[in-house]
Chain A
């Protein structure tokens, strides 16, 4: 290997930093705010529809609302639209319900060619798995803390 010395690497890294196009932080933030907020507004509209026309209680309307949002996300993922939309929207497209549904659907679609069990079954949680693992682990830790505080 061409041994690039530590100095060479540092000098080169500075050159790279000078040549790297600036990230459009302001534009990304505005887009994430508008899109992330927009998705939440759509969710709110759906929930209101369930409450007003489906005669659900405010709490009971949550489940069908989430189902509709998941369906929309999976639909747009399978139509090949969601990833292009996410390139534009950035973090705004990662809001929990739709973003999570996208990771599951994208992995499932991707691995369809390896069959139903090893492909879809084995890979569906490839991207979503870490969220579940650390979600459960952190919930457990918080629950232990709460238990300790209330019972000791």
Chain B
């Protein structure tokens, strides 16, 4: 039975992550994980004619890098699944239009990365695809302009605000055996605890992460101790603290293994980092560039990545709606690959 409990899919065929491609913006490249990324952008500011085109280029470079590392051509792909934060998913559709393969664009804000992995693993498990390219991207300036203010507008952001990550992460998932495999996915529900402040995404998303983690543990019968690392997508400092409280109330002690991609990607003293990183690329970059490497080199055996998405739009925000959030979780495991 591939579905266990209420909302968890298990993948007995264990689709493998055969290659990853990561492109990091300037501030991300200067962060603590900078050296983990395949392409590190060193120039500041706009590279092409617009922020949107810059973002599309990031996605294309990440996809191209993943394909090159997997030694594949676009025609070898059965499916491309991904998304970004732009309206109409322009980062994904425009950025990857050169890659001739069937495409599915997905959106769940900053949890788009794990949603892509879940849908890809589903297609691989069901036999509808042999190789799937997945990915997510975000760009600080295009996100600022779509969700907040013009980039050069002088306004003071509070300490709970987060910095949207500039970058893109892509990976090729395949039915082949690989050192890192996807073994389960827990699809999140939309959770809304009434947060309205668009500077407090972390607080809006923490209950969604707690809910999905709780559901995963209930569905699979596992405990937090079964994971070497549980990484949320982009809760930031305040959201991370809230998640610890919420898990504690539910009787789980996350201890040292609970971390957050938004806290890992930047140093607190980097410019305008405030509460940490956010954006669809945040969990994609940290997971593909850093967390999966820990599985590959044998430091860890099993991790849970719960990317978190605040599903607001500027219009809904201006209509004073509360912020609904979602979190999709993926279990990545290490597999010993026999080279005999």
Contacts and interface: CB of A to CB of B under 8 A. Distances in A.
Contacts of A9: 193-194
Nearest to B245: A15
Chain B interface helix/strand/loop/mixed: loop
Interface string A105-120: 1110111010000000
Interface residues of B, number: 38
Contacts of B271: 84
B147 interface: no
B152 A12 contact: no
Contact of A78 (B152, B194, B242, B246): B152
B228 interface: no
B200 interface: yes
A89 B157 CA distance: 11
A117 B193 CA distance: 42
Contact of B51 (A99, A103, A113): A113
B272 A87 contact: yes
Contacts of B160: 20-21
B149 interface: yes
A131 B242 CA distance: 38
B151 A83 contact: yes
B21 interface: no
A1 B192 contact: yes
A29 interface: no
A125 B29 CA distance: 35
Interface string B119-156: 00000000000000000000000000100011111111
A30 to B, nearest CB: 14
A2 B190 contact: yes
Nearest to B188: A2
B324 interface: yes
A111 B149 CA distance: 11
Contacts of B207: 4, 12
B189 A93 contact: no
Contacts of A109: 150-152
B14 interface: no
Given A8-B193, A20-B160, A21-B160, A127 B149 contact: yes
Contacts of B152: 77-78, 80, 82-83, 102, 105-106, 109-110
A103 B153 contact: yes
Contacts of A4: 191-194, 207
Contacts of B158: 23
B203 interface: yes
Interface string B235-250: 0011001100110000
Contacts of A2: 189-192, 211
B159 A102 contact: no
Interface of A: 1-2, 4, 8-9, 12-13, 15-16, 19-21, 23, 28, 77-78, 80, 82-91, 93-94, 99, 102-103, 105-107, 109-111, 113, 126-127
25 contacts: A1-B189, A1-B191, A2-B192, A4-B192, A12-B193, A13-B194, A15-B245, A20-B160, A20-B238, A21-B160, A77-B154, A82-B152, A83-B154, A83-B155, A86-B156, A87-B156, A87-B157, A102-B152, A102-B153, A111-B150, A113-B51, A126-B150, A127-B149, A127-B150, A127-B153
Given A2-B191, A20-B203, A21-B238, 12 more contacts: A83-B151, A84-B271, A84-B272, A86-B154, A90-B156, A102-B152, A106-B153, A107-B153, A109-B150, A110-B150, A127-B150, A127-B153
